[in-house]
Amino acid sequence: MNPFYQRAHFLTSVPRVDQAPTDSGREVAFAGRSNAGKSSAINTLCHQKALARTSKTPGRTQHLVFFELDEQRRLVDLPGYGYAKVAESVKRQWQQHLAAYLIERRALAGLVVVMDIRHPLAAFDRQMIAWGLEAELPLLLLLTKADKYRKGAARAAELAVAKELREAGDLITVQRFSSLERQGVEDVHAWLDARLAVGEELTD
């Protein structure tokens, strides 16, 4: 268990990027379609059961939700609209907000794109990856629900995603993950540590 991520606590939830906390320090954002297991992944990584809200109604998270790790480091839960019953105008507006956040936010040090290992690289996923690459952000493609596959099939799915995006080079890391079996937790913590410069003194 990594005690640093267990410190995570709710900081604020904002509907617009311009209401976000001061753009300083470092933060890593989590994005994913509404049924990809994003909240469960955040809860598992932070060793908490209810830090990020999970819902039986996909798409209810329509805010940027900030979780503080310490005074200079944060995790951010981004809204996903894969199956949400919201108007197209709302979706378009949020796409603009997300693009602005990913491209303009100076504190953003990495992006985790959460995808169900059985249904990776949907249109929403590809859009988030494209914005992340445009911003030259390190990307972690988190293939959740790996326990749904046997080990060989899960490995094959991981390799297929990595192969399709190999042109992005070192910016992209692909990782199998299971909240149920806690598979991949240590690897994700190591990736987050590097992005957030855990253990280092940050200067603005």
Percent over 70 (pLDDT), the chain: 92
Question: For residue 44, what are its two tokens?
Answer: 């598992």
Would residue 36 count as lying in a domain?
yes
**Cβ 192 vs Cβ 69: under 8 Å:** no
Q: Write the CATH number for 147.
A: 3.40.50.300
Q: Which domain holds residue 182?
A: 3-196
Mean pLDDT of 104-126: 95
pLDDT, residue 83, reads 46
Question: What does the pLDDT look like over 131-169, one tens digit per residue?
Answer: 999 999 999 999 999 999 999 999 999 999 999 999 888
Q: Is the pLDDT of residue 73 over 70?
A: yes
Count of the separate structural domains present in the chain:
1
Would residue 35 count as lying in a domain?
yes
Q: Coil, helix or strand for 104?
A: helix
Would residue 202 count as lying in a domain?
no
Mean pLDDT of 98-127: 93
> Which residues, 6+ apart, have CB-to-CB distance to 98 below 8 Å?
31, 78, 79, 128, 131
For residue 44, which phi and psi values (nearest 5 degrees)?
-65, -45
